[in-house]
């Protein structure tokens, strides 16, 4: 079955520290890959996406993600976290053809310590 796993429910980091959020997927073929961020009480905002090509993808707010086909992973990174990055982060996949039904992970809630 197709699925997306975000193994960390909560992560706490200090402001200025580096961040890595994990995402693994199970899919028949390489899907489109996405990371979204959700601030409290808000909708989701796209951080970055991978369709093809360079496996290191740059996004907004200083985030990047690396697609590793051999590990079926698409981990999100940021070299220096800001207090405003505190939010919930969702990884998602979508097929490259056909139904365009997205599958989301269960999310990772990031807390940033001052």
> Which 23-42 positions form the footprint of other proteins (CB under 8 A)?
32, 34, 36, 42
Report the candidate in 6, 15, 24 with the shortest Cα–Cα distance to residue 81.
15
Q: Which of 58, 83, 106, 111 binds other proteins (CB under 8 A)?
A: 106
Find the distance separating the first CA and the last CA of the chain, reported in whole Å: 41
Contact (CB, 8 A) for 74 and 67: yes
Minimum CB separation from other proteins for residue 103, in Å? Answer: 8
Cα 63-27-94 angle, rounded to 5 deg: 55
Q: Which of 13, 19, 44, 86 binds other proteins (CB under 8 A)?
A: 44
- For other proteins, give the closer residue by CB, 2 or 18: 2
- For other proteins, give the closer residue by CB, 27 or 104: 104
Q: For residue 93, what are the CA distances in angstroms to 22, 104, 114?
A: 14, 7, 33
Q: Which of 87, 107, 110, 112 binds other proteins (CB under 8 A)?
A: 107
Report the candidate in 93, 20, 90, 22 with the shortest Cα–Cα distance to residue 51.
93
- For other proteins, give the closer residue by CB, 18 or 42: 42
Positions in the binding site for other proteins (CB under 8 A): 6, 9, 32, 34, 36, 42-46, 49, 51, 90, 92, 94, 96-97, 99-107
């Amino acid at each position: 079955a197709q699925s997306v796993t975000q193994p960390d429910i909560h992560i706490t980091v200090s402001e200025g520290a580096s961040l890595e959020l994990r995402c693994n997927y199970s899919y028949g073929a390489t899907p489109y890959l996405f990371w979204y961020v959700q601030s409290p009480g808000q909708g989701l905002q796209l951080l970055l996406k991978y369709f093809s090509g360079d496996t290191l993808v740059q996004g907004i707010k200083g985030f990047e993600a690396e697609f590793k086909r051999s590990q079926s992973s698409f981990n999100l990174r940021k070299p220096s976290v800001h207090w405003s990055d505190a939010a919930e982060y969702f990884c998602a996949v979508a097929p490259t053809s056909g139904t365009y039904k997205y599958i989301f992970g269960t999310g990772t809630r990031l807390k940033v310590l001052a």
